[in-house]
Amino acid sequence: MSRIELLDRIRTVNGIIQKSKAGKVVFTDICDCLGRLLSADIVVLSLKGKVIGRNVHPGEKSLVLDGVKVGERIEKAVNKRLLTILSTQENVNPTLLGLENVEGMMLLVTPVSIAGKRLGTLIVCRRDEVYSIDDIILCEYADTVLNLEMQRSETEEHEEEDRREKMVKGAFSALSHSEVLGAVRILDGLSGEEGTIVASKVAESLGITRSVVVNGLRKLESAGIIETSSAGMKGTRIRIINTEIYDEAERWKANSSL
């Protein structure tokens, strides 16, 4: 690749920022861009191993981490190995990372970090073609774009977590002691983030009235913490919208004398 070609590719990556609205870059856009320039599959992971961006080939399998969709997490063991890579490593053998079905594939792994703080990982994968110094330069330039976007995303995520936590705290503070008892008992009885409960049975187990349990659920639903619907003779279907309620329930149990 000539210097002019490399410069044109860098300008293409830089164009993502220029075209983005209000400076906000979508990770998938970066992956699509790099995928075209490098003829490779691209995956961007968060620090905890969540896929936050990847290029998509309709009707085709991805070369790396196939089946793991954006928003899902990869295996902890694989992410742990990736986090041990502290500088760009080209032509990495995927089997050393614990990946399967990767015969003939070559990886280029670039840690996304700034000021010594690791933010995530950029993975490039293609078949039967080693990576050149120009490929590395392009990926490391893309890494600077990812740094900026990940910092923004991290800030927004923290702000969203704080907002959700405050919503739950506010909702709990509006409940009476008996209503909190009912809510906590229901949460303990759910399997995952949704399930069906019988309010009268919950009330009976706590020695309170059914109306107390129902009122507590209504308050939580009004606050946007849960959703409820009738399950007919089976009771009430409950779905958790704001999962911060689990942490708040655990804090309440830890501080409760009961």
Q: For 200-216, what is each residue's pLDDT tens digit?
A: 999 999 999 999 999 99
Residues β-bridged to residue 78 = none
pLDDT of residue 17: 61
pLDDT of residue 44: 92
pLDDT of residue 142: 85
The CATH architecture annotation of domain 166-255 reads Orthogonal Bundle (1.10)
pLDDT of residue 204: 94
Q: For 18-29, what is each residue's pLDDT tens digit?
A: 555 455 557 888
pLDDT of residue 59: 59
Question: Range(s) for CATH 3.30.450.40 in the chain?
Answer: 3-154
Side-by-side strand order, sheet with 105-114: 51-54, 41-46, 117-127, 105-114, 89-92
pLDDT of residue 23: 52
Instruction: Tell the residue number behind the tokens 């990847």, with chain if given.
Output: 54
Hey, what CATH topology would domain 3-154 get? Beta-Lactamase (3.30.450)
**Stretches in the chain below the pLDDT threshold 70:** 1-4, 6, 10, 13-25, 57-60, 257-258
Question: Range(s) for CATH 1.10.10.10 in the chain?
Answer: 166-255
